[in-house]
Amino acid sequence: MTGLDFIIRESAEVYHAKAKKYLSSHQLADFRKCPLLYHRKKLDLIPDKDRPAYVIGRAAHTLILEGQDTFEKSYAVGGPVNSRTGKVYGANTKAYQEWADQQGKPVLTDTQYALITNLTAGVQAHELAKMLLSEGIAEGVIRIKYCGVSCQVRLDWFNPERGLVDLKTADDLTWFEADARRYGYLHQLAFYRAVLAKASGQNFPVHLIAVEKKEPYRCGVWRLGDDVLGMAQKENESAIHRLMKCRETDTWPTGYETIRTFDWI
């Protein structure tokens, strides 16, 4: 396939609305952890929790990757001012809730916005991160059959020359490499790279940008090695094959059906 016609531009709402029909990296992560967990989430028996950290992460992605104009169209900041005190009403007050409901989009407090602004400044202060994000496509979507399954990915950033870039916010950059393994970032990006390769006909470099959510808002850039991505891709593909068997038999194990042995200290 030539050009970039395999990249789809659509809102996050449209993308997530199609999650029932397409396998995503997050769904595959659920399946690797526990097939029964994946199945119950697909049946809407286990709703996804929207934690405050997720809100910050999504808003930071919008501002850092898509810019101020898109951010202002996507989020409201602040709140109604109490005329007696001259301060914004608290987030738990009726006045604030009524104001928030009128905005028609997610609302961030001034404190949250200040954090997101600092995260953006942290990324922009890192020369390599700034270069990687200087030109490309933000939040591009790809849908294609991979390993016989209809899959979809939403790439944080893609540039045909520099490859795929994923942006993460981190509590402490010192432990980010351990967190990347713990939260399955390597498998996530291996899935992205494989779907992108299936659609484009070639493999691209993969970088991770992480920015710390506290002073001094340190930012780091990691290049993911081909060997590591290759191993994660094999584990993903093995999981997809198991998923297909679970679908065929309508059998959804927890992964803990047999006895296990502690044989190390």
Distance CA 177, CA 112 (A): 26
Amino acid 206: pLDDT: 98
What pLDDT is attached to residue 145? Answer: 97
- pLDDT tens sequence across 136-192: 999 999 999 999 999 999 999 999 999 999 999 999 999 999 999 999 999 999 999
pLDDT at 49: 81
- How much is the pLDDT for 52? 74
Question: Residue 187: phi, psi to the nearest 5?
Answer: -70, -35
In this structure, the strands spanning 149-159 and 137-146 are: antiparallel
Q: Which amino acid is at 232?
A: A
Residue percentage of the chain with pLDDT more than 70: 99
- The mean pLDDT value for 210-223 works out to 98
pLDDT-based confidence at 1, cuts 50/70/90? very low
Confidence of residue 2 (pLDDT cuts 50, 70, 90): very low
Residue 47's pLDDT band (boundaries 50, 70, 90)?
confident
Cα separation of the two ends of the chain: 52
Tell me if the pTM is above 0.95. Answer: no
Of 239, 210, 256, 218, which is closest to residue 146 (Cα–Cα)? 239
> Nearest CA to 99 among 82, 74, 116, 117?
82
Domain 12-249 fold is: Lambda Exonuclease; Chain A (3.90.320)
Q: What are phi and psi of 93, to 5 degrees?
A: -85, 160
Q: Where are the domains of the chain?
A: 12-249
Classify 52 as helix, strand or coil. helix
How far is C-alpha 241 from the geometric centre of its chain's CA atoms?
24
Q: What is the pLDDT of residues 91-119, one digit of tens each?
A: 889 999 999 999 999 999 999 999 999 99
DSSP state of 163: E
Q: Buried b / exposed e across 51-69, counting CB within 10 Å, b at 16+?
A: eeeebbbbbbbbbbbeeee
The pLDDT value given to residue 91: 83
